[in-house]
Chain A
Amino acid sequence: MKKRMLTSAVAMLTAASMLAACGATGSESAAETESDTSSAATEEATGEEAAATGEFEPMTIAYATNATDEVFATMKDAFDNVIGPALNIEFTYSEPLSDTGALTTFIENSYAAGADAVITNLSSSIDQAAGVCEDLGLYFVGISSSDAVENADLPHYLSVAGASAEGYGESYASVIKDVIGDDGEEHGILILSGAAAYGATSFIEGTAGSLRALEEVYGLTYTEDIDTLATTATQIDAENDKGIKITIFPGMADLATNVSPLLQTGEYDVVVGTTNIYDSLGVAVNEVEEALDMDIKFITRATFNDAISAAFNGTDSQGSPVIDGMVCNGTYENVSAVIMLRNAFDGNVDNMRDSDGTCSRVPGMIPLAISSVEDYNTLSSADIPYSFVTTEDILSLCGADVTWQDIDEFGASLTTENIVAKFSA
């Protein structure tokens, strides 16, 4: 009996200490953000926005994310420290969700914890989530590259934001044209279609866009349908009348191990990724370049960070940039979602929804296509606000007379050229 008590005591102690340790990490970061928030808030309050902040009722937005990668971390940082204080919004975030059931649970629990509105970027589950939010009376914006399938009759379902799938296609096409279009040589091209085989729209469009760009560059015709090629579940050669070697390789897991043998054949000198392949393939590509003594052009989807900066600015073993081109995820969708929810919460629901009684569609900004170091460095410089949108811009988009079209238009104006012009001044 004594022994058992002792054991239980040990169990409790360990458990408690663990919890404390874990809790410490969590609360520490929470504390950090809190202090940041408050300091930011003080700044705001003393600054020019004091009046504006006062105008907004406090609201809470729950953000359900499908991944907690760097893109998310950057966004979270901006939301918590800049946009949140400016619009008097508090944010809560989910752990990475993959399953619609888990998403529903998160929304329900957030509602219970007092959230007023929900954003999710789980593109496959937007309609379900909208339904749940409607039942709970939460304003909702979904982030997706595809259109909402059904959006009638849900008054809390404001909008689907996010660069359209075609946008991704265009951006890829433009980067590919920039990187290989001008030299007129024949290349072996490997396209990593990522989750396209599992139906992720932006991946499908990225792959299809790349294929279309190649069609244009080489003036070729594929023997098979582009969509079929883009959604392939097995590695496939996109056969064409010009005999250009184009291979599509699907899958997300173990990329380095699986793709490395392909690259070693030496048949490919251009690698196009519809996901962030620099993180997962950078090492493998470098190894192959060294081993075969050849230059492989590297096009990836990425966001701005130190590693990508280094890669863009650095050179590989063959003396060319490590990354030759990138497609940058649009981040304006997140900002626009917050703005729309703020407006709806302030009573301007109708302006945020389509006039025909369905939810609006805000493609916003087109994903940025970057193929030069200069562009990259301008766009990624430290003093540029999140998503290239300043606090004034955001405040100007909040108000009773703003419609979703205004928000959309603002996003559409955020092209590489405009941004460079705006911030290099």
Chain B
Amino acid sequence: MQSTLLKVKESRWTSRLLSPIILVLLILVFAIATGGRFSNPRNLKMILEQALVVGTVATGAVFIFATGNVNISMGATTALVTTIAAKAYMATESVPVMFLVALVAGVIIMGLTALLSTWLDVRVLYVTVVMMTLLSSIQMSILGSANIQLPYDMTSGMGDANVPLILFIVFFIIATVLFHFTALGRKLRYIGINDVCAELTGFKRSRYLLIAFLVAGVGVGFGALSTIVRNGTITTDTCSTLNMDCMLAIVLGGMSCFGGSRSNTYSAIVGAVMVTVLNNGLLMLGVSNTILQAVRGVVFIILVCASQTRPQGLPSRDG
């Protein structure tokens, strides 16, 4: 009995599948508790749609987190890219242009953030703390006195065509292929496992960190497009909670925030969906909106505790 348990615990699948399994269990519990209302396909689709923006951006962020670095400015970056892309659309009224601008802007901004760190040797965490404020200030300046109201026809048309879902799937496939099926992901993970050793294996930290940020930039671009479709109106408050939601999703999805071997692209979407499932399910059960966030926090802490071994000393690396 004990040995079986140990085997289960030791198995590489346990840590990998813990979060997805908990997600499935949550869904089952809610489905039963609400007498099936929760699990009707329409509701489930809605839950998935709610998680798409966070899922897309966080999937990109997985590349950064895998290297053991934390970027807490994902939301601010997305907000700025969203604004730029929306402006581009208003100027040209062309959806392809908007797509292009979003991707290019995402890649450029993330690239610059990475360069500050790799080129000028400032710690990633500090760079992103500054970026969080800087980028949102820039967004505010660009936005000026007017909210950007995108034409309803365009956004709803794209929404009906499931563009956010398609964007997510496309990016998820790209990301998964890159991360799990090419050397890139393995190298990033190896940097997260032990950066000195990775350097001595020929994986230059500065180069791969830059690549990770660029890929995350593509994710930000896609996420920005989804935001445009879902929100329709771009204000200074757009994506204001995304900074933290991203981290929340990734860690809830079963990844260590210090990266390493437990990094998976699906963590992001699993975590993001878990948050929306909790929100939706608890609301259905009549839990007040106010407590939802606390429940999220508690679940978050418990999951993190359950999935890590308690170290002897105090953890502190990179904050």
List the interface of chain A (C-beta within 8 A of B): 3-4, 7-8, 11-12, 15-16, 18-19, 22-23, 26-27, 30, 92-95, 98-102, 104-106, 108-114, 124-125, 127-128, 131, 149-150, 196-199, 204, 231-233
Contact = CB atoms under 8 A, between A and B. Distances in A.
Given A7-B305, A8-B305, A198-B147, A125 B231 contact: yes
A393 to B, nearest CB: 30
Nearest to B286: A113
A112 B227 contact: no
A27 B152 CA distance: 40
A198 B145 contact: yes
Interface in B82-131: none
B280 interface: yes
B147 A199 contact: yes
B227 A101 contact: yes
Given A11-B302, A19-B294, A124-B233, A131 B152 contact: yes
B156 interface: yes
A22 B294 contact: yes
A111 B284 CA distance: 9
Contacts of A15: 298, 301-302
B17 interface: no
A233 B137 CA distance: 12
14 contacts: A4-B309, A11-B305, A22-B294, A93-B289, A95-B290, A98-B235, A105-B50, A108-B49, A113-B284, A124-B235, A127-B232, A196-B145, A198-B147, A231-B146
Interface residues of B, number: 51
A109 B230 contact: no
Contacts, number: 133
Interface in B297-319: 298, 301-302, 305-306, 309-310
Nearest to B144: A233
Given A4-B310, A100-B233, A125-B231, 12 more contacts: A7-B305, A8-B306, A11-B301, A26-B291, A95-B292, A99-B237, A101-B238, A113-B283, A128-B232, A197-B144, A198-B140, A199-B145
Interface of B: 37-38, 43, 46, 49-50, 53, 140-141, 143-147, 149, 152, 155-156, 227, 230-233, 235-241, 276, 279-280, 283-284, 286, 288-295, 298, 301-302, 305-306, 309-310
Nearest to B79: A99
Given A19-B294, A198-B235, A109 B144 contact: no
Contact of B289 (A8, A94, A125, A198): A94
Nearest to B49: A108
Contact of A99 (B145, B231, B294): B231
A18 B301 CA distance: 12
B238 A100 contact: yes
Nearest to B145: A231
A149 B148 CA distance: 13
Contacts of A125: 231-233
A196 B236 CA distance: 12
Contacts of B293: 95
Q: What 6 pairs across the A-B complex have the smallest Cβ distances?
A: A98-B237, A231-B145, A100-B231, A128-B232, A15-B298, A199-B147
A233 B310 contact: no
A131 B230 CA distance: 11
Nearest to B239: A99
A196 B147 CA distance: 11
A16 B294 CA distance: 11
Nearest to B40: A112
B283 A127 contact: no
Nearest to B300: A15
B149 A99 contact: no
A93 B37 CA distance: 21
A7 B298 CA distance: 15
B280 A109 contact: yes
B46 A112 contact: yes
A106 B241 CA distance: 15
Nearest to A23: B291
Given A99-B241, A109-B279, A199-B146, A18 B46 contact: no
The residue in A26, A98, A102, A108 that gathers the most chain B C-beta atoms within 10 A of its C-beta is A108
A7 B310 contact: yes
A383 B132 CA distance: 49
Nearest to A232: B145
A198 B236 contact: yes
B240 A99 contact: yes
Contacts of B240: 98-99
Contacts of A108: 46, 49-50, 280
